[in-house]
A and B are shown apart, each in its own frame.
Chain A
Amino acid sequence: MRIILYVLIILAGAFISNRGLLSSIVEKNLSKLQYASLLLLLFIMGVNIGINDEIINDFSKLGFQAIVLSLSSIILSVAAVKLVSTYFKYKEKAVKQDES
């Protein structure tokens, strides 16, 4: 259910800015507002981590897991785009052969 709320909020934000319904004061300071709310949230997230003793004790384990997860994500995403670009080249070739 929460996801519907998230999507609705994003759509509301997109609609308002797309239609130019924002006042120019908000529009000018949008990135500052965004950054301020982001920093506040990250601070709270940090507090949440600091309060939790288990995470602090497991920090090196988390670091190792993070390296494994980020590298495996990058490798498979590069492989997937490799597939897509090979498909594009194959299509291009087919079009050229049709033309000649």
Chain B
Amino acid sequence: MSLSIILTVAVGILSGLFIFPEAFAGRISLIIDIGLCLLLFFVGMDIGRNKQIINQIKSKGYKILLIPLGVALGSIAGSVLGGFVLGLPINESSAIGAGFGWYSLSAIVLSKYSAEVGALAFITNVCREVFALVSIPYIARYIGKLEAIAPAGATAMDTSLPIISKATDANTAVISFITGVVLSTLVPILVPILISI
């Protein structure tokens, strides 16, 4: 996890507290909208550059897609269950779960809906990445290699990949990458759908 990301959010919070006038809040939605479109465009470019991904999926067989599907359903079901215990509305808890550990994108999409839900999505998905990094070696050893991909979610293609690759084997690392790409593609689609339920 990059320190500059946490620092940027912290500096933003402090400027919101002490520098920006309250009236600025009304303009934030438009700024986020424009920036989000730009960011999604770059996300698309990243996905388009991974040309080998389709071939990798073909060589592993389409049944390999059951793994990202399982991670997606499990993550959303888990956060809905957790949200139910906490008394959160189902659209908020499911959308936060559909961040799949990609804290920046899910939090930005949701902060358009409400600053509080955006903040919760950010902290939840930062926690998810931290817990993932800590638990992956143990899950790989005591539960199974494929299961070790699950906590990583969308980060299975980048930040968590080195740890998964070290704790498992080359074959699992390729499946981890595929899982990460599929889940990362789902985040900007599922989060807005779930929050508008």
Residues of A within 8 A of B (CB): 2-3, 5-7, 9-18, 22, 30, 33-34, 37-52, 54-56, 58, 62-63, 65-85, 87-88
Contact of B189 among A3, A54, A84 (CB under 8 A): A3
Contact of B108 among A22, A41, A71, A82 (CB under 8 A): A41
A52-B116, A68-B85, A83-B70 known; A42-B43 Cβ under 8 A: no
| Bound Cα distance from A78 to B194, whole angstroms | 22
Contacts of A80 in B (CB 8 A): 70-71, 73-74, 77, 150
| Bound Cα distance from A46 to B116, whole angstroms | 11
| Bound Cα distance from A88 to B73, whole angstroms | 18
Q: List 21 A-B contacts (CB under 8 A).
A: A6-B36, A7-B189, A10-B185, A17-B44, A22-B45, A30-B45, A38-B5, A39-B4, A40-B35, A42-B104, A44-B31, A45-B118, A50-B13, A55-B115, A66-B126, A69-B124, A70-B128, A71-B127, A73-B78, A81-B71, A88-B63
Q: State whether B45 touches A14 (Cβ < 8 A).
A: yes
Rounded to whole Å, the gap between the CB of B1 and the closest CB of chain A is 13
Q: State whether A46 touches B15 (Cβ < 8 A).
A: yes
| Bound Cα distance from A20 to B3, whole angstroms | 32
| Bound Cα distance from A20 to B66, whole angstroms | 31
Count contacts on B: residues with CB < 8 A to the other chain. Answer: 92
Rounded to whole Å, the gap between the CB of A12 and the closest CB of chain B is 6
| Bound Cα distance from A89 to B104, whole angstroms | 36
Near A by CB (< 8 A), chain B positions 71-106 give 71, 73-79, 81-83, 85-86, 88, 93, 96-97, 104
Q: State whether B146 touches A9 (Cβ < 8 A).
A: no
Contacts of B123 in A (CB 8 A): 62-63, 66
Q: State whether B12 touches A45 (Cβ < 8 A).
A: yes
A10-B43, A43-B12, A68-B86 known; A49-B119 Cβ under 8 A: yes
| Bound Cα distance from A23 to B97, whole angstroms | 37
List of 6 A-B pairs having minimum Cβ-Cβ separation, nearest first: A46-B12, A50-B16, A13-B44, A80-B74, A76-B78, A72-B82
A13-B42, A84-B146 known; A45-B107 Cβ under 8 A: yes
| Bound Cα distance from A40 to B82, whole angstroms | 31
Near A by CB (< 8 A), chain B positions 21-43 give 22, 24-25, 28, 31-32, 35-43
Q: State whether A78 touches B147 (Cβ < 8 A).
A: yes
